[in-house]
Chains A and B, each alone.
Chain A
Amino acid sequence: MSLGVDVVGAGMHPFGRFPDAALKDLVRLAVVRALDDAGIGVKDIDAVFSANAMAGVLQGQEQVRGQSVMREVGIERVPIVNVENACASGSTALRQAVLAIREGSVDVALVVGFEKMFVGDLDRSLDALESAADLDVVAGLGLQFTAVYALRLQRAIAAGRISERSLLDATVKSHDNGALNPDAQHRKRFTAEEIAASREIASPLTLLMCSSICDGAAALVVAREGAVRVGTPIAIRASAAASGFTRTSDDEPPIAAVAAQAAYAQAGVGPHDIDVAEVHDAVAPGELLYYEQLGFCESGGADELLASGATAIGGRIAVNTSGGLCSRGHPTGATGIAQVVELVTQLRGAAGPRQSGRPRLALAQNSGGWYEGDSAACNVHILERRQPWT
């Protein structure tokens, strides 16, 4: 029997554009807030799992990225593991912390993700993003993540599984939720008409449907059950990972479905037990694809699930209450951890105007990079509020 693992602290540096903040500043705020939230100090940390995707290209900090920011907050000597897995870096780091605690060699781990994508040179940021695939294959193709999601959605629309109207409605929901999140990059609501009229990025996607360049950091304190006493511990019931593969048929399940099935089996729950979820909507309508892949609806049921209001705040299974990647923001290495920060906040009942009822079970799905037709990496975590609601 492996040891129980809890999230006992969570903190964010707001997501957005912060020209005056260095990586050290982004990380400082997120880490100090997470430690303060857990009621512990830096000397209580046994190990650090540090996620970043692009500081090698964007800041030139190709090596020891975790050490270079941890020294700013006095964390030295303990093991620091540097994790890169494209946009799934954050959840990959979290998974390493979970495995280390389950195995018994670490009691209290700090998991931090950070990214600074505004560097005053959009082409350099786009080059960094394009390297989330095998450059021997994609170099010179101009294949951005927006185009990757556009291709997936265009196929779903052509097959009659998703309507074009749902692309707009999912994006309206994303911005509605982001507007309620003080840590979100984009906090403005838009109508479906405004979203449709914004400039095209990659058909059928328009500007307001897409996540954008973003700075930010997020941190979690993860501990063996009972190692850190906090008011509302949140258990990590499942941590599952999958990597991309050379797809030969559409009959093969996407890796998000593979990781989700593994996570459900680990936690002993099913998709209909989940109360709140953060999914990897690198473009807002991408959440429609993940409804199917995570089992929230049958194939072809995404339009209906969205239209029913079940995935809105207060719905049966609220999805991306934070605003998701599109509206909360997507500083790549920080995203997977920010998803869990949001879920912890929801499970504690501390999300203020975007609180979705009294959730017990939460799911985070974080994907990164791409193969031909699917992502290169995906992690799914399932969290549970240990205490009953009173």
Chain B
Amino acid sequence: MDLTAALDRENWADRRRIDVERGVLVGSRCPECGHRSWPSRSVCSVCGSAVSGECELSRTGRLLGYTRVSVPRPGIPAPYVIGLIELDDGVRLHAHVRGLPEGGATVPRDVVLVVPETSEEGPAFWFDAGDGNQEVGGGA
């Protein structure tokens, strides 16, 4: 398999991970098998082909699971919610989640990416679980 294209990959620091203007995450797409990754890769973990360029990822996805964390960290006041999200194009990532109903919510449920235009403090992006979701009790 010809991996030489990976030699010419932009350096890690020069690859975008977020497009704030367009409000999307930017990853990569394997030209051979179509597998998408975030952050970008230089070689596809599914088929082993060299990966080049960048790819905008879906703004919508499903929250597969979540936890409300009660231990504050520097710059992250508690409580906050971390979720495991699967985007519509298959990419999985951990991210902060906002807008879940008080007292718990069922999963999976739809979430939408939010990229704030100015991010003085806090995460560079999060997923909103409020829009278009029925508020349902139970769960954890």
Given contacts A137-B39, A143-B94, A248-B92, contact A155 B64 (CB under 8 A): yes
Task: Give the segment of A60-68, A89-97, A199-207, A375-383 that binds chain B.
Answer: A199-207
| B55-113, CB < 8 A from A | 64-71, 73-76, 80, 82-84, 90, 92-96, 106-107
Of all chain B residues, which has the CB nearest A126?
B73
The interface size of chain A toward B, counting residues with CB under 8 Å, comes to 34
Residues of chain A lying within 8 A (CB to CB) of residue B45: 245-246
Q: Which residue of B lies closest to A159 (CB)?
A: B107
B residues near A164, Cβ cutoff 8 Å: 140
A144, B140: Cβ atoms under 8 Å?
no
What is the size category of the interface that chain B forms with chain A? 20 to 34
Residues of the A chain whose Cβ atoms lie less than 8 Å from the Cβ of B67: 147, 150-151, 154, 202-205
Closest to A250 in B: B64
Instruction: Give the tally of cross-chain contacts (CB within 8 A).
Output: 101
Asked whether A141 lies within 8 Å of B95 as measured between CB atoms, the reply is yes
Chain A residues 144-203 with CB under 8 Å of chain B are 144, 146-147, 150-155, 157-158, 164, 199-203
Query: Does A20 sit at the interface, judged by CB under 8 A?
Result: no
Judging by beta carbons under 8 Å apart, are B64 and A142 in contact? no
State the Cβ distance, B126 to closest chain A Cβ, in Å. 10
Asked if A200 and B70 sit within 8 Å, CB to CB, the answer is: yes
| B69: contacting residue among A202, A245, A246, A373, CB under 8 A | A202
Per-residue CB contact flags for chain A residues 124-140 toward chain B (1 = under 8 Å, else 0) read: 00100000000011101
Cβ contact within 8 Å between A151 and B82? yes
* Inter-chain contacts of B37 with A (CB < 8 A): 246
Residue from B96, B106, B140 within 8 A of A141 (CB atoms): B96
Asked, given contacts A137-B93, A373-B92, whether A201 binds B139 with beta carbons under 8 Å apart, the answer is no
**CB of B123 within 8 A of chain A?**
yes
> A157–B139 contact, CB under 8 A?
yes
Q: Specify which chain A residues have a CB less than 8 angstroms from the CB of B9 in the assembled complex.
A: none
Please indicate the chain A residues that have their CB under 8 angstroms from the CB of B106 in the complex: 158
Cβ of A247 under 8 Å from chain B: yes
| B95 neighbours in A (Cβ, 8 Å) | 141
Interface hits, B8-38 → A, CB 8 Å: 12, 35, 37
Q: Is A123 an interface residue, CB under 8 A from the partner?
A: yes
Minimum CB–CB distance for A137 against chain B, Å: 7
Is the CB of A372 closer than 8 A to any CB of chain B? yes
Q: Could you write out 11 A-B pairs with CB less than 8 Å apart?
A: A138-B94, A141-B82, A141-B123, A146-B71, A151-B84, A155-B107, A199-B70, A201-B70, A203-B70, A204-B140, A372-B84
Which 10 A-B pairs have CB atoms at the shortest separation, nearest pair first?
A150-B67, A155-B65, A203-B68, A142-B76, A204-B140, A142-B73, A154-B140, A372-B92, A202-B67, A151-B65
